[in-house]
Each structure stands twice: as C-alpha cells, then as structure tokens.
Amino acid sequence: MAVRRPRRGAAAPPSRSSRRPCRLPGGRAGAAMGRAALLPLLLVAAAGRAGVSAAGGPEVRSLRGSWWLANGNGSVVLRGEVPGCVHTALHRRGLIQDPYYRFNDVTYRWISLDNWTYSRTFKTRFDDRKWQKVNLVFEGVDTVAQILINNITLGRTDNMFNRYSFDITSVIKEVNFVEVRFLSAVSYAAEQSRCHKAYSIPPACPPPVQKGECHANFIRKEQCSFSWDWGPSFPTQGIWKDVRIEAYNHYHLIYFSLTSFFEKSAQQWSLEIESIFDVVSSKPIAGLVTVNIPKLQTQQTFSVKLQPGEGSIVLLVNINKSSTVEAWWPNGHGKQTGYNMTTTFIMEAGYQIEKSSKAYFRTVELVQEPIPGSPGLSFYFRINGRPIFIKGSNWIPADSFQDRVTYDTLWLLLKSAADANMNALRVWGGGVYEQDEFYDICDEIGIMIWQDFMFACALYPTDQYYLESVRAEVSHQVRRLKSHPSIILWSGNNENEAAIASNWFSIPYADREVYIKDYVMLYVKNIREIVLTEDKSRPFIASSPTNGLESVKEGWLSQNPYDTHYGDTHFYDYSNDCWNWTVYPKTRFASEYGFQSWPSFSTIEKVSSTEDWSYTSNFSLHRQHHENGNDQMLQQIGHHFKLPQSTDPIKKFKDTIYLTQVMQAQCIKTETEFYRFSQSEIIRGEGHTMGALYWQLNDIWQAPSWASLEYGGKWKLLHYFAQNFFAPLLPVAYEDKGVLYIYGVSDLHVDHKLTLRASVSQQDDIYIFVLQTTAIAPFVSLDVGSIKGRFSDNGFLMTEQKKVVVFYPWEPTGVEELEKSLTLTSLVDVV
Ligand code: BMA
C-alpha cells in the first residue's frame, strides 16, 4: 500500500482505551443558541440608502482542501479532501477499489471500524490579535470526534446534522495545527446502546439480509449509512461540509432567513426577516436596517439594537399594496417567481452588512377538516389558497458518500422529477437534511418538499444529553432551511408512530408506556416545540404515516396510523396481483407505496463481473437487501408475463431485468392512477385522495430497489411511465363496476413475427429515433447503455407502424455512438 507520511508527526493516533465512559468528557461546543435578545423594533422611515460594505468586516479563512488523514495505529496515512470522507480519500488515492464494486461493502467494513484522524496546519493570513473573536466553524462533522487546535481540546462532536462553532480566540497563533480525531460511528453507537441500561431501545440490528451495522438509533448520523433495505452499510467518517475560521469584531451575522405571510382580511403580503447575531461588544450596538425589494416598490428602514451575546432580531416588512405580488407556485401550477431583495445593516459600531437574497411569496395550509359523507378528516395541501394534488416520490440520499453528490447530480435527479410531471418529493427521514443547493433547485423548478426530521423505523433515546443534541440540530436545520418556499411541511419522523402502534419490535404490553412517553418527549415536546417557535409559516406533523389531528387526539399515537379516513398512509403489498386495483387502500394521502425492479444491465455491469450476470448469482443475492425481494419480483411478473427461459444466461438475465422494470412500471402506474382517480370520490366513506408519492425516486448505489431513477440518473421504465401517469391531463379508462381497464396493457395478442427497426438522426442538440414495427409491440424499451441522457418516451405500447422518439443527451454524443449502443426490447423479444 503506498503510504506517505505527514510533515508533522502529530497525526499520530489518539490514544483511546477500549472501554470508554458512556458520555464523552469535554462538553459540546454549541450550535444551539438562545433567542435571548428579541428586540422591540421601531419603524423609522422609508429613506433608502444603497448598502456599502465598509472596511472592518469579518475575515474568513477557508480550511477546505487537502488534509492529512491517518488511521488508528498510523499504518495508513494519506491526503484527503475536505469536505470529504475516508472512503473517498482512500479510493481517490488508489488505496481501495470502487467501494460499490461487487462485495466491497463487506470487504471494506474495516474502514468504518477504525478510528481516523484528519489534521492539517494552517497559517492565519490576518493579524489575529486585532480580532475580538475568532471561531473555528464546522458546518458538518461526520460524526463522533474530538476537535483539537495546537494540542488543546476545543470540544467534541457527536451529531452529523449540527453546526459546530468553537471559540479559538485565546488559542489561535500565526501557525496552527488542527486535528479532528474520529471515533468509529459503529463502536460509538454500540457503546451508547450498552450504556443505556434502564431499558433497551430497539431495533438492535438490521435484518441479516442488509449486511449492516447495529444501533444506528444511538447516533445522530444518517440512519441508512448503517445499511437499509435498498442500500449498503458505509458508516463514513469525515468532515462532510465546509470548515473555516471566522474572525470578527463587534458583531457577526450567523443566520439570515425570510418567511412570507399573507393576511387575508387585509389582503396584505408580508415578509418576516430573522437575523441571528453574535455580538461581542460589551455594550448594545444600535443601528439601522434597510430592506429593499425594488420590483415590489418596497423599502423599509428599521432601527434596531443588538444586545451583547447571541440573539435574534425579527423584522416584519409589509409589501407595498399597490404592487402586484406574483406568488411562487409548484411545478405545473404556475411560475416560481422570486424577487431580488437587499437587506443592509448599518450599525453604529463596526462595519455594514449587505445581504442579497430572493424573496418568495407563497402560503401553505394542511387542511384537515370533515368531509361530507365520510367519517374522519381530509388531509390535503392548499397552496396559495388552492387545493393541490401532490404528485411525486420519495427522496433518499443520492450516494453513500455525500461528498460525491455535486450540484450536477442533484440537478439531474430533481430535473428528472420535474420532467416526469412531479410537483413534490418527500425528503425521507432515514437520510440527511439535504444540502442548500438541493432546496435552491427545488425552489427554482417548483418541487414542493415534505421534509422529515432524520429519524426512521426505530425507537430513540431521550436522555438529557441526547435531547440537547437533537434540539440543537432542529434549531439549526430549521434556521438554515426555512427560507425555501419549496418546503411545505415539517414531519417528525418516518414510521415511528406506526412502529409503536403496530408493535414492530414486540414490546411487552406492560412496557409500552415507557416508549410512548419517549415518543412524545422527542417528537412533540422537543422537536415540535422548537419547530413551532422557529417557523410559523408551515405546518408540522409528528410522523408519517400518521392520522394527523386524530393522532394528536389519541395522545400523538393512534391505534392505527394507517387508517384511510385520516392523514397519510404507507402501503406495500408484494404478493397480490398489482393490476388488481381493489387491493389498494382508498386513502386520503398515499405518501409511500412501491414495487422493486432491477436497474438496467449497463448500470449493473459497472460494478460486477461476468460471473455475476445471472439473477441467482451470489452478487444478485448480495445486492438484494429486502428479504425475498428477487423472488417477489418474479412472482409479480408471473401474474401476467412468461418468465424468461433463454438458454443464454446473459440474455436470460437481461430479459429478467427488463421484465422487472416493465412489472414495476405497470404496478405503480395502476396504483397511482387509482390514487389520482380517487381524488374526486367518496366510496363507502373512503376517498378524497390528495397525494401520491411513490417509493422511491432515486438510488444510493447500483442495486435492485424501488427507485425509478437508477444510480447515475438513468431513467427506468417506471420513470417514463410516471411522465404519463403524472401528466396534467390523464386519460384514465376506469369502469366503476369493480373492473379496471387500463388501455393496452393486458392480454395482448402479439405477433411473434414482429420486426422493429431503429433509425437515428441529429437535430441541434437532440437525436431523433424513428421506430418502425410490422406488428403491435408492447412495452417497447429503448436502451443506449451507458450513454447519459433520456428519451422523450419509453416502455410504450406501439400500435402504429411508425413512432418518433427524441433522445435528450446529458453529455456530448453522436449518431454513430447512439446507433452502436442502441438495443430495442419489447415483450415479444423475451424468450
Ligand atoms: C418504507 C420506507 C423505507 C423503506 C421502504 C421500502 O417504509 O420508509 O424505510 O426503504 O419502505 O421497504
């Protein structure tokens, strides 16, 4: 193994005893800040002054870039990028293979079990003595680490979702040595579980089929990084977000956020602007804040006083009523208008701050009210006063290694969602609060976000230390994200109300109360309370699925959170024939439902070798993390199609992959059409369905899963189908006498003498495929292997002789390359 040594010997492994105390000593440096200084505000005058940044503002020194990285015993030392993680650093330096290749998730388990140290030296380019305060700021540390500067411990981190700021005013020198000594997340979680002696907090470990790590619920870290039923176990270590030194005098702006409100009776839009400062002067600092939104002819100046310490000021700007405000609308309902705005702080001491931002105006209500002819309550979203049917899917982390998720990755996935006529995604609670760019893109293209807090499919501790950490996390995330008009809902967790109600973890009845108490403590008394204080502009629910107000009435935990008369439901059924719509719940809101399929061969090929290319290979079993998943797919296919029989094993594998995708697309089409169709009716008290978010949009790696977009962004047939079943105008041919007819999908008499031809030509940046057939061709699939891009349509029924399909490339390509890579499959090609 090629190993280089750092210039300084200080990257030596931290000495750690094998048994650590249950709580790490040294205290936490805080992301959490009080809101002590909410100031009375005085509206002064509408005298505008353009903002100028005067000298004396804060100095920021980025610590991004190359750091030293060493494992526990110092036998592996290398350079690693920050932001980044150990796995990507090892891979980039060629010290390990692609972690996604074949069985490497298991082979490389040692990486997460070791304790790594990141270190670097840095010089202050500024004279540190002239600053009243110097902070070392981490936007994200993954996860458990001791932070040192010049061999002095500053504090510890143990929550991946917090922002940590350490005061280094008295310890910073001209040349500094900073160290982040990680402890394996896996060992930490195990230890925390061991220390929780009073009662167990299940689940202890994931099911063996997931090949994962235990006790994810004892660490505030991306829960699916310990494995999931669609994802590998890579419990990373690293500095996953920005890290920098900030030096300032007088005052410093930490958070700045905008939320809009509409006062119906006065027909008045207003903006609430919240600024959170750290004031280091010993005396209050007075000043003027001017808010200017030129396009709305709105300018207001406020006099403010910042009190010493950390605190917030809140300004309420009324928008000039003679200007027409264009609201922000979801995709398919209108434009996503935003207004340029500047906020200038001119303070008596120190420097000026000029913040440029975009102001959006939209309202959101979660309507839960009685429905005539139906017991229970409605559950739907009203955006800008208009009821909107929520169409979309569920979002999971786009990679096990967050540093590989670039703006382009996000853009491609989110744009694909919008292109498939989706207007919403649920950021699921077992992943991460996504990066700012994710929400920026959603704002820009009109994708509404149902935002879970990061708790999923488990019970969680509620001791004081843990709660403090969660409280800091929640305030930080809400402050960071609340300006985004795309976010329409905060939701406490994924499936934890259901986990207790349906007793997933076989808790004896006598012990139930303890867990219910913990549940209410965490999601209601802490998370909800903080969310309601921090953000009054959008609704909060405690869990998904939930019965909403009915759950609240039952003490926040309904007997049956899957009740179709209230709230949202999750529904999975792999054994019944998915074309039989009567198996689906006529719910108020379907926030999860799905079927698995395999990603295309070109995607699998990249992480496998020849011996893996069969449906029953060790690789195919290894990649399947859902118990019996591969068999369930075959069983579902068998309801309507002949299973592949080819004697050529690769052809058989490819045919099977194709059929899993056809099956998945058809199943979800049937179910989604059922939900859309149920919008306008109440049958036997059920109906009024106002949301369909299928599970799941994207993939974390190349494996069978419920996703409609493969790892890398390629569209599965389901995604092409989604484009149609989510179309604004959907021709659904249903009969209401208990029989469902879906056009052109069932029992087709196909001509086995069919010939399909493909010609390709170029027109500007797009490619035109002309398909010709001599007979009806069901589920026609065009595939250009690894060439990145998407077709205008796919998986379609070809009843006409000729059909034109457009290919939109995501990278430069050519006619010849496309022709060479094109494979055409239809149902009649499966042997
Ligand atoms: C749902 C999700 C995920 C899971 C999916 C498929 O319940 O919340 O936990 O991946 O089912 O099993």
Report the pLDDT averaged over residues 22-33: 43
The pLDDT score that the predictor gives to residue 762 is 87
Q: Which residue has the higher pLDDT, 74 or 780?
A: 74
pLDDT at 11: 28
- What integer pLDDT is reported at residue 755 of this predicted model? 67
Q: Do 451 and 489 form a contact (C-beta atoms < 8 A)? A: yes
Query: Which residues have C-beta within 8 Å of that of residue 59, sequence separation ≥ 6?
Result: 125, 126, 131, 245, 246, 247, 248
pLDDT single digits (tens) 357-402: 999 999 999 999 999 999 999 999 999 999 999 999 999 999 999 9
Cβ(229) – ligand 1 distance below 6 Å: yes
pLDDT at site 729: 80
Is the distance from the beta carbon of residue 570 to the nearest atom of ligand 1 less than 6 Å?
A: yes
Confidence class for position 125, pLDDT limits 50, 70, 90: confident
Phi, psi values for residue 385, rounded to 5°: 85, -5
Which two structure tokens, joined as six digits, stand for 675? 């939900």
Q: Is 592 a catalytic residue?
A: yes
Q: For ligand 1, is residue 495 a contact (CB within 6 Å)? A: yes
pLDDT tens digit sequence for 52-82: 334 578 899 999 999 999 999 999 999 999 9
- Which ligand 1 atom sits nearest the alpha carbon of residue 495? 8
Q: Is 291 in the pocket of ligand 1 (CB under 6 A)?
A: no
Residue 732: CB partners within 8 Å, gap ≥ 6? 673, 676, 677
Residue 275, strand partner residues = 256, 313
The whole-chain average pLDDT of the chain stands at 90
Contacts of 487 (CB under 8 A, 6+ apart): 439, 448, 449, 451, 481, 538
Nearest CA-CA partner of 451 in 404, 489, 410: 489
Atom of ligand 1 nearest to the CA of 570: 7
Mean pLDDT value of segment 636-654: 96
Q: Is 498 in the pocket of ligand 1 (CB under 6 A)?
A: no
For 684-740, the pLDDT digits (tens) are 999 999 999 999 999 999 999 999 999 999 999 999 999 999 998 876 665 556 544
pLDDT value of residue 1? 30
Catalytic residue chosen out of the listed positions 592, 671, 686, 710: 592
pLDDT tier, 207 (very low <50, low <70, confident <90, very high otherwise): very high
686: annotated active-site residue: no
Q: What single DSSP character describes residue 709?
A: B
What local confidence, expressed as pLDDT, does residue 747 receive?
Answer: 22
What is the distance in A from the centroid of ligand 1 to the CA of 702?
17
Res 470: pLDDT: 98
Count of helix runs (H) and strand runs (E) in the chain: 17, 42
Q: Is 381 in the pocket of ligand 1 (CB under 6 A)?
A: no
Which member of 246, 495, 534, 673 is catalytic?
A: 495
Cα–Cα nearest to 428, from 521, 529, 274, 545: 545
Q: Where are the alpha helices (DSSP H) in 395-540?
A: 407-419, 436-445, 464-481, 496-501, 512-519, 529-534
Share of the chain above pLDDT 90, in %: 83
Q: Which amino acid is at 552?
A: V
pLDDT reading at 25 higher than 70: no
CA of residue 543 to ligand 1 center, whole Å: 14
Helix (H) or strand (E) holding 138: strand 133-138
Least confident stretch, 414-428, 490-504, 789-803: 789-803
Give the pLDDT band of residue 33 (cuts 50, 70, 90). Answer: very low
- If pLDDT is split at 50, 70 and 90, which confidence band does 771 have? confident
**Three-state DSSP string of 685-718:** CEECCCEEEECCCCCCCCCCECCCECCCCCECHH
Are 486 and 439 in contact by the 8 Å Cβ rule? The answer is yes
Residues 157-200: tens digit of each pLDDT = 999 999 999 999 999 999 999 999 999 999 999 999 999 999 99
User: Identity (one letter) of the amino acid at 275?
Assistant: S
Model pTM score:
0.91
pLDDT in tens, 543-582: 999 999 999 999 999 999 999 999 999 999 999 999 988 8
| Model pLDDT, residue 21 | 52
Structure tokens of 280? 């280091």
**pLDDT tens digits for range 527-537:** 999 999 999 99
